Amino acid sequence: MDNQCTAPNAEPDSDAPRLDLIAQVHNHSRSVIEAELQRLCRRVPTLGRADLEVVGAALEHLSESLIIHRLRHAPQKTAPLLWRLFGSAAECP
């Protein structure tokens, strides 16, 4: 039985550094969620695919509402600070 849940990864937009940052944070959040779902599968092997999809959807919603939504609506003047917080040094504009 395959218990892995997957979601499409965001593709960075090279023309918009802010969108690249949002995509990077989304991808990182998705990676963390996937790792947690796999850990949950190992700890509770009786969980089915539907159970994991519900948990994954709840974690995606938390990620979106607590982090991604706020990044999308942050003032443009905060972009350098956001890159320092969420981006890597090599990607900082």
CA–CA distance, 93 with 18 (Å, rounded to integer)? 10
As for how many domains the chain has, the answer is 1
63 assigned to some structural domain: yes
89 assigned to some structural domain: no
Q: Which domain holds residue 32?
A: 17-77
11 assigned to some structural domain: no
Q: Evaluate if residue 17 carries a pLDDT over 90.
A: no
56 and 33 Cβ atoms separated by less than 8 Å: yes
Residues 3-13: pLDDT tens digits?
444 333 444 44
In DSSP notation, 9-72 reads PPPP-TT-HHHHHHHHHHHHHHHHHHHHHHHHHHH-TT--HHHHHHHHHHHHHHHIIIIIHHHH
40 and 47 Cβ atoms separated by less than 8 Å: yes
Residues 18-74: pLDDT tens digits?
678 888 889 999 999 999 999 999 999 999 999 999 999 999 999 999 988 888 888
Q: Is the pTM of this model over 0.75?
A: no
90 assigned to some structural domain: no
9 assigned to some structural domain: no
58 assigned to some structural domain: yes
